A and B are shown apart, each in its own frame.
Chain A
């Protein structure tokens, strides 16, 4: 399958600041990437679909202005949590779509803590 690199793995930030999370597809040109959010002991919830060269598609209930997504190249998508608040603390995971005969490949995730 594809190789996906996600950084940082952990980040702690103060309330009101912004945090950027990067997702890189290392060996696969991804025109689409996906961003998920996972609360403790819960499932993954799709936040948005990142589209290379165009606007992201957000799921219902996800604030577009809070979770800014940029997909400027075929190998990089970024998620910026703007004006972060403690309730934004969560585990964020990116993925690329199925590649050849494999399934989705996921990044290793980012644990965001807002204090």
Chain B
């Protein structure tokens, strides 16, 4: 079974700083997707970024980028020029391509951006 681990329960940075959230996972699969989801106080789950395992190039979405290390099974999220609206819970998630398309979530990291 796949597992996803986020070792940072909470993080806090000043506005405009850069912050990196860590995520590691364990799987025997070769083809899969990885996601970062944001859950603000409204509790609506919002997709931040996704990465296909077969792609070597790291995904980027504006201020959000990932460092995907397939051999190390690591998938960190970097937020540049952090904004107050980035304050939220961030979940790393894994999805295998074969079989049921279940999402396996990490424990989450609570990120606070301070003014």
Contact = CB atoms under 8 A, between A and B. Distances in A.
Nearest to B107: A43
Interface of A: 1, 32, 34, 38, 41-46, 49, 57, 91, 93, 95, 97-98, 102-106, 108-109
B8 to A, nearest CB: 14
B51 to A, nearest CB: 10
B106 A43 contact: yes
Interface of B: 33, 35, 37, 42-45, 47, 50, 91, 95, 100-108, 110
Given A1-B47, A43-B107, A103-B47, A98 B101 contact: yes
Contacts of B107: 42-43
A104 B101 CA distance: 10
A45 B103 CA distance: 9
Nearest to B36: A103
Contacts of A95: 45, 103
Contacts of A41: 110
Nearest to B48: A103
Contacts of A93: 43, 45
A91 B91 CA distance: 16
18 contacts: A1-B47, A32-B101, A38-B43, A41-B110, A42-B107, A43-B108, A44-B45, A46-B104, A57-B100, A95-B45, A97-B101, A98-B101, A103-B47, A104-B45, A104-B95, A106-B44, A108-B43, A109-B44
